Structure 1
Amino acid sequence: MQEELSPDGLPPELVEPIRQTGFLSRSYVSSVAFIAADTSGDPKYGSDHILYFLYQDLIQSALSISTLVTQGLLNVARRELRFLIEASVKITHVQQASYISSIEEKLELFNKELRSPSISIKKEIKLDLLPHAIQASFDGELGRIYGLTSNYVHLTPTQILHSIEGAKAGVKPGRERPEDVNELNRLAERAMAASLVLLFHSVPSWVAGDWLVNSDGSSIQWHFMKSQYIAAIDEEFDYKHERQGTLSHIKAARARNVDF
């Protein structure tokens, strides 16, 4: 009996997991686009900020993840997640270390760091928007995500064992198990949230406030507010005048929303 497919040509059990992948990608893209646009208030952003030249690459990678998962290319999607982390670490390190230098000077000064596949420079990044108590936790999270996604950049035992296990379970490209896509989605939301935490630290601090805090003081309704690290950044703006009248409600809602 022929398998019944959804209007998108997907097995019914994959429709919701793949829809979630697309939702994550769009949520990430909208915030990166805002960060890039809001930072343009800096008169030298378009000539000297490395994010200006790379934010489209971040957007393309995020959008490609949704397309790749639809085609059953989950390992390739993991490689794109690794790029998001690596690029965000490098963008943030370069900008913090030499914010006012020209883009030509940045490329010369940080040639070695930009060429290296290592993200050890993450140790030098200042995480001033995060409470000191969780900065080490975030550093550990970065390392874990980068390690997990790096397993799929080159041929590794992890990748081979994953492929063997899938083959034994009858997995074929385009016919992944829902749990495989859900697992990828959980990794994607962690990687995208970590990337955004870094990008907020590569630009003036008011950019994060502009994105996270609505005009009435409430927190933005946004998937990545479920990240403990994004929520912690949002908490840094509780001093804002527009939040004072409803601060207890904002704090309670933020705490209830944290999921990863």
Structure 2
Amino acid sequence: MPRTSLEDLQPELATAIRANEAVVLSYLSTLSFIVMQGARDPSFRDTHVFSYLAQDLLQSAMALIILPREGILNAAKRELRFVLEASIKLAFVEQEGTTATVQEKLERFDKELASAKISVKNALKLQLLPEADRDAFRVEVGRLFSLTSGYVHLTPSQILESISAAEAGITAGKERPSDVESLTSVVERVLAVSLVLLFHAFPYWVAGDWMVEENGLSNRWHFSASRFVAAMDSEFDYKHERQKSLPQIQRDRQARIRF
């Protein structure tokens, strides 16, 4: 099936889809950075599950661009469930497995990886987040997992949603801009949580190198609008290069928070 061109869509719908794609591209750029930083370790491919999982996250992220263009919104939500589950389990395995080989981690954590549950989120060490934000972050993870899981299995709420859409004449290819905007609001929340989790699967300095510019200012990327990414950024306020501009950095960071 040929990929839909945005020029063939109504302007309002094309605008909504472009906004969604901008979110995903920001995620992909961060994913690429994490891969490059991880690869600086000669043992990366032998000891870090992310060296292989990155390809799956990349595929899901690309699906989040392609599927909305074709009006396939519920399938995009299923991809979000995978991204979230994978990010949770990766952070857990890397924190608990430390320098074990990939094969050793797969054997040791076979039960946790095979489970459809994400109770391991409660065992995560969230040292990149201020202590005051850690419980709220876990709640957000659980809430988003429940939301996206509603599209993995057939549920009454999903059927009712489909009935409502059909009655309104909304089918794949005939979606409304508001439908895409609603999806995007979930996409940015899930991807923000995914990045926080992925950074927790790596040494402290990886997040610091991404979050803090050479002049000490915060990286002004899409996910700096996330309350949890902003909270993570605040953990680097101790850096020497931030001290001269710290009050302004803190004000700007707070003003950008949107989700």
Instruction: Tell me if both proteins adopt one fold, taking TM over 0.5 as the criterion.
Output: yes
Question: Partners in 2 of 1:253 and 1:194 — Cα distance?
Answer: 21
Is 1:18 aligned to residue 17 of structure 2? yes
Is 1:64 aligned to residue 60 of structure 2? no
With the length of structure 2 as denominator, give the TM-score of the two structures: 0.96
Q: Which runs of no fewer than 5 residues in structure 1 stay unpaired?
A: none
Question: Partners in 2 of 1:162 and 1:66 — Cα distance?
Answer: 22
Aligned length: 256
Question: Partners in 2 of 1:101 and 1:172 — Cα distance?
Answer: 48
Structure-to-structure mapping, 1:204-243, within 5 angstroms: 204-243=203-242
Question: Partners in 1 of 2:6 and 2:71 — Cα distance?
Answer: 17
Structure-to-structure mapping, 1:75-114, within 5 angstroms: 75-114=74-113
Q: Is contact 2:73-2:180 (8 Å) kept?
A: yes
Q: CA deviation at 1:76?
A: 0.1
Question: Partners in 1 of 2:214 and 2:7 — Cα distance?
Answer: 39
Write the letter of the residue equivalent to 2:245.
Answer: T
Question: Partners in 2 of 1:107 and 1:83 — Cα distance?
Answer: 18
With the length of structure 1 as denominator, give the TM-score of the two structures: 0.96
Q: CA deviation at 1:177?
A: 1.1
Q: Is contact 1:50-1:103 (8 Å) kept?
A: yes
Percent sequence identity over aligned pairs: 48
CA RMSD of aligned residues (A): 1.2
Q: CA deviation at 1:42?
A: 2.4
Q: Is contact 2:6-2:14 (8 Å) kept?
A: no
Q: Is contact 1:6-1:15 (8 Å) kept?
A: no
Match of 1:49 in 2: 48
Is 1:32 aligned to residue 27 of structure 2? no
Write the letter of the residue equivalent to 1:104.
Answer: Q
Structure-to-structure mapping, 1:138-157, within 5 angstroms: 138-157=137-156
Q: CA deviation at 1:7?
A: 5.7
Match of 1:115 in 2: 114
Structure-to-structure mapping, 1:239-258, within 5 angstroms: 239-258=238-257
Question: Partners in 1 of 2:52 and 2:172 — Cα distance?
Answer: 34
Q: CA deviation at 1:8?
A: 2.5
Q: Which runs of no fewer than 5 residues in structure 2 stay unpaired?
A: none
Moved over 6 A (4+): none
Is 1:126 aligned to residue 128 of structure 2? no
Write the letter of the residue equivalent to 1:63.
Answer: M
Question: Partners in 2 of 1:172 and 1:91 — Cα distance?
Answer: 36
Question: Partners in 2 of 1:225 and 1:15 — Cα distance?
Answer: 24
Q: Is contact 2:217-2:249 (8 Å) kept?
A: yes
Q: Is contact 1:18-1:181 (8 Å) kept?
A: yes
1:8 match: secondary structure: helix
**1:7–1:32 CA distance, 2 compared to 1 (3 A):** closer
Q: CA deviation at 1:43?
A: 2.6
Q: Is contact 2:20-2:65 (8 Å) kept?
A: yes
Q: Is contact 1:64-1:77 (8 Å) kept?
A: yes
Match of 2:183 in 1: 184
